[in-house]
């Protein structure tokens, strides 16, 4: 018998993927311009020119056996060094290149971290609304997902509930800010509260509790809000980073996992990460893109385009009468569904060729997520469809 659990996982595409596939079929039927696909977080802004220039430079100047060859399992030394040099100067911390593991994007960073930290039935707390793949990643690591609710006004974690959820089985918490799907950035005060609670719970249960920051959207911030750097606030921290969104390189699969240098027995945690990477077959992230990192670290795609999309989309929706959660980052808008059942609302939206992701998949009821990493033209052209959808509820 093959693994039934995996068969089922493979058979059921994520809601987001399913919508995206529906969109592809629908575009063939009625034409691309008539389908308003807001399903997927695929960057619509191209990678900055420096990426192309430096790639050409590497391809022309470097020995191909080096460029396309294996790096060490945890990654190329220069890439790891460039990453910590940048982080340390930007966030005034003292991270170490020896504690950076290069990965195939945030998804790999998360699965490696979970595999490294979790023993069977350890509990992993995530905060609604959360990236749906967390459930898959956590369950596959042998851990148990525990969902904590949020403050309805700020969309930040509900601290009272969090206090109750932490127990002797809690191994780690995952935070994601700027958040997919709400776009909310957790404030410094919020991070300080989480850190202080964790410190007291560590004492109470006499064990380490880790905080894993999933940060593919760190650079996608629109009004210079600060995204607190987690290792400065809490010692047992890890950072799962990805260049997928900041440099518009999601298909190239490049990111890293960093163990905060103040982590208890940080070297052992890093060994566990190397072991997890090895056991999962995640050794040597794509080498061409590792070699690119030193020359592009700190650069981003032109996020002004997303800012403009956000402005246009929010005002268009609010003018019609929709209620939106005002995001500070990422490229998603969380919008209140016009009926209680967000799945039904998303289905009704499909009738108007609007592809909106129902919020139940993010652990919250009654909203849809609109990914606005699309062309401004698509946003403008979707006005009538949003209006008709709204009118259909009157
Ligand atoms: N975490 C969050 C919150 C995401 O939104 C995504 C992708 O959309 C990922 C992780 C995975 O990112 P990557 O493409 O770098 O694997």
Nearest CA owner, ligand 1 atom 12: 106
What pLDDT, on the 0 to 100 scale, is given for residue 12? 82
Nearest partner of 145 among 113, 118, 109, judged by Cα: 118
108 Cα to the center of ligand 1, angstroms:
9
Whether the CB of 41 sits within 6 Å of ligand 1: yes
What pLDDT, on the 0 to 100 scale, is given for residue 20? 85
Max intra-chain CA distance, the chain: 65
Whether the CB of 178 sits within 6 Å of ligand 1: no
What pLDDT, on the 0 to 100 scale, is given for residue 11? 87
Q: Which of 43, 47, 131 to mutate to test the pocket of ligand 1 (most atoms within 8 A of CB)?
A: 131
Tell how far CA 257 is from the center of its chain: 13
Q: At what angle do helices 49-61 and 287-296 cross, to 10 degrees?
A: 120
In angstroms, the CA 218 to CA 227 distance is 7
What pLDDT, on the 0 to 100 scale, is given for residue 21? 87
Question: What residues are paired with 102 via a beta bridge?
Answer: 256
Whether the CB of 358 sits within 6 Å of ligand 1: no
Per-residue pLDDT in tens (0 to 9) along the chain, 394 residues: 999 999 998 888 788 888 988 999 999 999 999 999 999 899 999 999 999 999 999 999 999 999 999 999 999 999 999 999 999 999 999 999 999 999 999 999 999 999 999 999 999 999 999 999 999 999 999 999 999 999 999 999 999 999 999 999 999 999 999 999 999 999 999 999 999 999 999 999 999 999 999 999 999 999 878 899 999 999 999 999 999 999 999 999 999 999 999 999 999 999 999 999 999 999 999 999 999 999 999 999 999 999 999 999 999 999 999 999 999 999 999 999 999 999 999 999 999 999 999 999 999 999 999 999 999 999 999 999 999 999 999 9
Question: How many CB atoms are closer than 10 A to CB 13?
Answer: 12
- C-alpha distances in Å from residue 363, one per residue of 27, 147, 148, 334: 29, 8, 9, 13
What pLDDT, on the 0 to 100 scale, is given for residue 147? 98
308 Cα to the center of ligand 1, angstroms:
23
What pLDDT, on the 0 to 100 scale, is given for residue 18? 84
In angstroms, the CA 174 to CA 3 distance is 28
Q: Angle CA(119)–CA(122)–CA(123) in degrees, nearest 5?
A: 150
Residue 243 CA: which ligand 1 atom is closest? 15
Nearest partner of 172 among 127, 229, 106, 215, judged by Cα: 127
Q: Where are the beta strands (DSSP E) in 61-202?
A: 100-103, 123-127, 144-148, 170-176
User: Which tokens is 229 given?
Assistant: 């750097």
Question: What residues are paired with 241 via a beta bridge?
Answer: 215, 256
Whether the CB of 242 sits within 6 Å of ligand 1: yes
């Amino acid at each position: 018998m093959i693994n039934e659990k995996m068969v089922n996982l493979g058979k059921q595409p994520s809601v987001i993927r399913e919508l995206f596939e529906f969109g592809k079929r629908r575009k063939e039927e009625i034409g691309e311009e008539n389908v308003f696909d807001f399903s997927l977080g695929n960057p619509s802004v191209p990678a900055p020119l420096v990426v192309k220039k430096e790639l050409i430079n590497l391809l022309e100047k470097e020995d191909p056996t080096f460029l396309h060859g294996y790096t060490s399992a945890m990654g190329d030394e220069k890439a790891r060094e460039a990453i910590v040099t940048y982080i340390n100067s930007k966030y005034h911390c003292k991270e170490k290149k020896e504690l950076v593991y290069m990965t195939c994007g945030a998804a790999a960073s998360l699965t490696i971290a979970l595999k490294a930290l979790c023993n069977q039935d350890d509990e992993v707390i995530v905060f609604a609304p959360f990236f749906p793949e967390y459930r898959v990643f956590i369950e596959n690591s042998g851990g148990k997902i525990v969902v904590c609710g949020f403050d309805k006004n700020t969309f930040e974690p509900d601290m009272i509930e969090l206090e109750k959820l932490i127990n002797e089985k809690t191994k780690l918490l995952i935070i994601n800010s700027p958040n997919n799907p709400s776009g909310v950035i957790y404030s410094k005060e919020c991070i300080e509260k989480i850190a202080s609670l964790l410190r007291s719970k560590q004492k109470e249960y006499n064990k380490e509790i880790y905080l894993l920051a999933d940060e593919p959207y760190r650079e996608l911030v629109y009004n210079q809000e600060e995204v607190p750097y987690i290792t400065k606030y809490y010692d047992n921290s890890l950072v799962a980073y990805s260049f997928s969104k900041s440099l518009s390189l999601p298909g190239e699969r490049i990111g890293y996992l960093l163990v905060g240098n103040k982590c208890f027995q940080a070297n052992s945690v890093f060994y566990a990460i190397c072991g997890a990477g090895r056991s999962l077959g995640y050794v040597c992230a794509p080498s061409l893109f590792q070699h690119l990192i030193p020359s592009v670290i700190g650069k981003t795609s032109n996020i002004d385009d997303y800012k403009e999309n956000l402005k246009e989309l929010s005002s268009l929706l609010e003018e019609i009468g929709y209620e939106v959660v005002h995001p500070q980052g990422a490229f998603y808008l969380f919008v209140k569904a016009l009926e209680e059942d967000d799945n039904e609302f998303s289905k009704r939206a499909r009738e108007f060729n609007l592809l909106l992701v129902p919020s139940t998949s993010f652990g919250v009821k009654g909203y849809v997520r609109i990914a606005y990493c699309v062309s401004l033209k698509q946003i403008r052209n979707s006005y009538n469809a949003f209006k008709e959808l709204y009118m259909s509820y009157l």
